[in-house]
Amino acid sequence: MTGEHRGPPQTGFDTLALHAGQSPDPTTGARATPIFQSASFVFPDSDHAVGLFNIERAGHVYSRLSNPTNAVLEERMAALDGGVGAIATASGQAAIHLGISTLMGAGDHIVASRSLYGGTHNLLEYTLPRFGIETTFVDPRDMDAFAGAIRDNTKLVFGEVLGNPGLEVLDIPRLAAVAHAAGLPLMVDATFATPYLCRPIEHGADIVVHSATKFLSGHGVVIGGVLIDGGTFDWRSSDRFPTLTEPYTGFHNLVFADEFGPQAFITRARKEGIRDFGACMAPMTAFQVLQGLETLPLRMTRHVDNARAVAEFLAGADGVVAVNYPELDTHPDHALAKTLLPKGAGAIFGFEIAGGRGAGRAFIEALELFSHLANVGDAKSLVIHPASTTHHRMDSDALAAAGIGEGLIRLSIGLEDPRDLIGDLKRGLRRAAKVAAA
């Protein structure tokens, strides 16, 4: 009986990427999203002003709190990720900080995957403890380790869809089940995947964060982030989340879970975190991220196609010890990737070059098309050799402990002709082979 029912068709992802949150400007007829480069917005009268401050009316007050250009981006990202709302932030790090600080304070605890972006690891391992928030790091493939690390004061479970640097595929449905069984929300960083390749909320996550600097904007020209609320978690299910279930004296004793229902988390994040920490996105940045989102489906398809071509070349190339990419059946999470990321496991991957640290340096310096820099998710292909750059102070033992080989090369595959990319890599491999043989 239940299989006979069918809901109405929903707007497709590609259409939402172009239209969600925006219609032609009613004043000017502008088809593109205007950049509202204004710090504040005029109140028609005093009662209207109070109404905006008191959440009686929809509208804008001051661009740290909200801005019409940012609001289009926020709606669009919520639409693309299947959330109830979003906040655009100054960076991906700001989005993670906003998510954490909305849920907890001193004395609280996070259980996180240990395979994280270095900046996130720094925040959780070194900086947040100074503010009384501790994190236990566990193997992202070990669900029992997540469950075992949860304490009475744990407020959040956190991981990345594609781990860093190992590209472990986070088993979001299983981890969500672990978190929910303990009465905890799951927050997922989906930067490497983007909602085009993986929508974590559909798999059980409750909160999603992105660095918009990467594929979302897609051209390496802005720094930004997005925090998205799935509206799925019942904050009133326990007394663990007083920021959402108890009166907030900073907003006239508002109880967010009472008044805002599924939007409680994102509303608290805006009314407190963006208001007080202030890590908002500039409207010009929001416009540029929106420009990127319009072509996200097209770009991600090409990114993945190119990455597959490059990875397959490297997997058969002399001088390459191993390629670590979930699209390849040699990756331990290949089957899981096919389930959670059926359109492709992103365009960032690593490979181990023969000859160690010296060969890695020689490889990097021989490349002409790949850009040697510390970023990913650009339209242009990027490369970095951690042992000679970001992790150069670590000896071989320390690198091994961090899961980084001395010959590890990380690639972010762009939109160039893949034949040119492979040609460039061949040049690097020839140079590396000479160093390795010397």
**Nearest residue (CB) to another protein, 53 versus 125:** 53
Is residue 181 within 8 Å of residue 135, measured between CB atoms?
no
Q: Which span (153-161, 190-198, 259-267, 410-418) binds another protein, by CB under 8 A?
A: 259-267
Listed in order, strand segments (DSSP E) in 24-180 are 85-89, 109-113, 134-138, 154-160
- Shortest spacing between CB 63 and another protein, in angstroms: 10
For another protein, the binding residues in 222-251 under the rule CB under 8 A are: 231-232, 234, 236
Q: Rule CB under 8 A: is residue 56 a binding residue for another protein?
A: yes
Q: Rule CB under 8 A: is residue 176 a binding residue for another protein?
A: no
Applying CB under 8 A, among 109, 270, 357, 361 the residue interacting with another protein is 270
**Nearest residue (CB) to another protein, 123 versus 264:** 264
Q: Rule CB under 8 A: is residue 209 a binding residue for another protein?
A: no
Q: Rule CB under 8 A: is residue 200 a binding residue for another protein?
A: no
Phi and psi of 407, rounded to 5°?
A: -100, 15
**Nearest residue (CB) to another protein, 39 versus 401:** 39
Residue with tokens 């303990």, as numbered in its chain:
182
Q: Rule CB under 8 A: is residue 260 a binding residue for another protein?
A: yes
**Nearest residue (CB) to another protein, 129 versus 261:** 261
Q: Minimal CA–CA distance to 345: which of 363, 362, 332, 359?
A: 332
Q: Rule CB under 8 A: is residue 1 a binding residue for another protein?
A: yes
- Shortest spacing between CB 188 and another protein, in angstroms: 17
Give 434's contacts (C-beta < 8 A, 6+ positions apart). 362
**What residues form DSSP beta bridges with 382?**
371, 412
Total number of residues that touch another protein (CB under 8 A): 61
For another protein, the binding residues in 70-89 under the rule CB under 8 A are: 70-71, 74-76, 78-79, 82-88
CA–CA distance, 213 with 226 (Å, rounded to integer)? 10
Q: Rule CB under 8 A: is residue 135 a binding residue for another protein?
A: no
**Nearest residue (CB) to another protein, 32 versus 321:** 32
The dihedral through the CA atoms of 105, 106, 107, 112 has a sign that is positive
Give 216's contacts (C-beta < 8 A, 6+ positions apart). 77, 194, 210, 224, 226, 289, 292, 293, 296, 377
Q: Rule CB under 8 A: is residue 112 a binding residue for another protein?
A: no
CA–CA distance, 299 with 153 (Å, rounded to integer)? 42
For another protein, the binding residues in 405-424 under the rule CB under 8 A are: none
Among the residues of 54-183, which ranges form H helices? 68-81, 92-103, 118-122, 143-149, 172-181
Q: Which span (3-11, 98-106, 295-303, 352-360) binds another protein, by CB under 8 A?
A: 3-11
Classify each residue of 303-338 as buried b or exposed e, where b means 16 or more C-beta atoms within 10 Å of its C-beta.
bbebbbbbbbbbeeeebbebbbbbbbeebebeebbe
Applying CB under 8 A, among 48, 275, 334, 427 the residue interacting with another protein is 48
- Shortest spacing between CB 28 and another protein, in angstroms: 16
**Nearest residue (CB) to another protein, 55 versus 221:** 55
CA–CA distance, 180 with 157 (Å, rounded to integer)? 10
The binding track of 8-47 with respect to another protein, each residue x by CB under 8 A or -, is x-xx----x--xxxxx---------------------x-x
**What residues form DSSP beta bridges with 158?**
112, 187
Is residue 161 within 8 Å of residue 169, measured between CB atoms?
yes
Residues that bind another protein (CB under 8 A): 1-2, 4-8, 10-11, 16, 19-23, 45, 47-48, 50-51, 54-60, 65-68, 70-71, 74-76, 78-79, 82-88, 231-232, 234, 236, 252-255, 258-263, 266, 270
